[in-house]
Amino acid sequence: MSLRLGDIAPDFQADTTQGTIRFHEWMGDGWAILFSHPKDFTPVCTTELGYMAKLSSEFEKRNCKVLGLSVDPVENHLKWKVDIEETQNYPVNYPMIGDSTLAIAKLYDMLPADEPGTSEGRTAATNHTVRTVFVVGPDKKIKLHLTYPMTTGRNFNEILRVLDSMQLTAAHKVATPVNWENGDDVIIVPAVSDAEAKEKYPNGWKTVKPYLRIVAQPGN
């Protein structure tokens, strides 16, 4: 069965560029991003992993760990890291999984279930489904799942934006509107009555429709 939002993210043990990890244990009580790329030493992936390295301190501020994955062996990752730092100007300081048996890729539906059992002989083109992002919450449940095509690099600023939204809305009874950015006004969810909203937001809010109430972001 396909993984869905709200499912428990499958646990696994894996060899990485920073040693062997057990996913749930490695996460601890924080958030995690598990993202995969088609193949080492390829152009789009090089830019992606470099940019994620650039943002890693921002994710760290949000108590969110980053974990990369491809079906290449760990030894390849370690060699490729040198190219990434050289071309993108940021060292890859998060672990990268070497999923050479495709076990984790299959566990997370990153590849069809009938894929061959090893990564031998595979190319970036035959790995086209492996450009995936999972965001997992402290409860180990999947909060976000995105899959991109081979030719399109991901927007990791968007992943950071969504993480901000999910963390904010998990802590407060609000939702974030279209194109929301951290610091913008938010929406009071319909489950909150006007009476409860008056207690939470004594400075008031803007009622566009009874179901659409705009208020300043909590904490601002």
Residues with catalytic roles: 45
Picking from 29, 66, 67, 62, the residue whose alpha carbon sits closest to that of residue 182 is: 62
> Three-state SS for 208?
strand
Phi/psi at 216 (5° precision)? -65, 145
Each residue of 148-161: b (16+ CB within 10 Å) or e?
bebeeebebeebbb
In sequence order, the 6+-apart residues with CB closer than 8 A to the CB of 160 are 55, 58, 59, 62
In sequence order, the 6+-apart residues with CB closer than 8 A to the CB of 9 are 3, 23, 24, 34, 134, 136, 140, 141, 142
